[in-house]
Amino acid sequence: MSEIVSTDREAGTLGEQLFHDIAEIIQSGELGLGSEVNEKFLAQRFQVSRGPVREALRRLQGIGLISREPFMRARVVSLNAKQLAELFQMREALEGMACRLAAENMSADESTRLLADLEADRRSWTSGDRSRKFDFHQRVVAACGNQRIIDTLNGDLHQLFRVYRRQSGMDNQRRQTAYQEHWQIMRAIISRDADLAESMMRSHIARASENLARQESFLTGTLEKSAAS
């Protein structure tokens, strides 16, 4: 019995790791939006059988990061304009509330650490270092104190949010603007101004959504011109 339990635990751990590993190569752009997902290639890359890969892909499909049509191979999801708008509307509402709650609940120690990490992230990007892992939004949500919001935004759906956050204008100009907006949000949180914190987070996400919509419109127009020429 103990051997069976141990085997199940190991399989679960492997599946969890593969879920995050495959999500990471999607988020990095190595597997682009709309691209085909090859189970055999992934199994060879991660040196596992295809069974755990298939399980990880099913979980990614469950959160909307992978799509699969009957008798077709899996593909990385590519949301249309309406679906993208709905995704960002959800983020705006929930992260706005999370930011309001963070302004009410974040401790002085937490805010000090978050400010330090925000500055360290700015310095690393300015110097060209892309190895540092930091997610301002995830940290704010984690500090909100509402477990349902945390589970929704920082759980499996976080993987889907990250893909489209990265697509929504992480060029140098937008990144600098995002940093400034993050600092302003932190000032509102530190001052315990819940109304301002929520308003600023909602505006921040709305601008990211508008930026992504402009990118989608530009890319669609470029493709249409190329097809017509």
Tokens matching residue 193: 């101004």
Taking the C-alpha atoms of residue 203 and residue 193, their distance in angstroms, rounded to an integer, is: 15
Look at residue 9 in the predicted model and tell me its pLDDT.
40
Taking the C-alpha atoms of residue 31 and residue 227, their distance in angstroms, rounded to an integer, is: 24
Taking the C-alpha atoms of residue 72 and residue 99, their distance in angstroms, rounded to an integer, is: 41
- Cα angle 222, 226, 229; round to 5: 135
Name residues whose C-beta falls within 8 Å of residue 11's C-beta, 6 or more positions apart in sequence: 52
pLDDT tens for each residue of 51-104: 999 999 999 998 888 988 777 888 998 878 888 888 889 999 999 999 999 999
Look at residue 14 in the predicted model and tell me its pLDDT.
85
Give the CA distances from residue 32 to residues 35, 76, 167, 226, in Å, rounded to whole numbers and listed in that order: 5, 7, 10, 20
Domains and their CATH numbers in the chain = 2-76 (1.10.10.10), 81-228 (1.20.120.530)
Cβ–Cβ under 8 Å, residues 164 and 84: yes
Look at residue 96 in the predicted model and tell me its pLDDT.
98
pTM: 0.76
Side chain identity, residue 2: S
List, for the chain, all residue ranges whose pLDDT scores fall below the cut of 50. Answer: 1-9, 169, 218-229
Look at residue 166 in the predicted model and tell me its pLDDT.
64
Give the CA distances from residue 119 to residues 179, 180, 187, in Å, rounded to whole numbers and listed in that order: 9, 11, 13
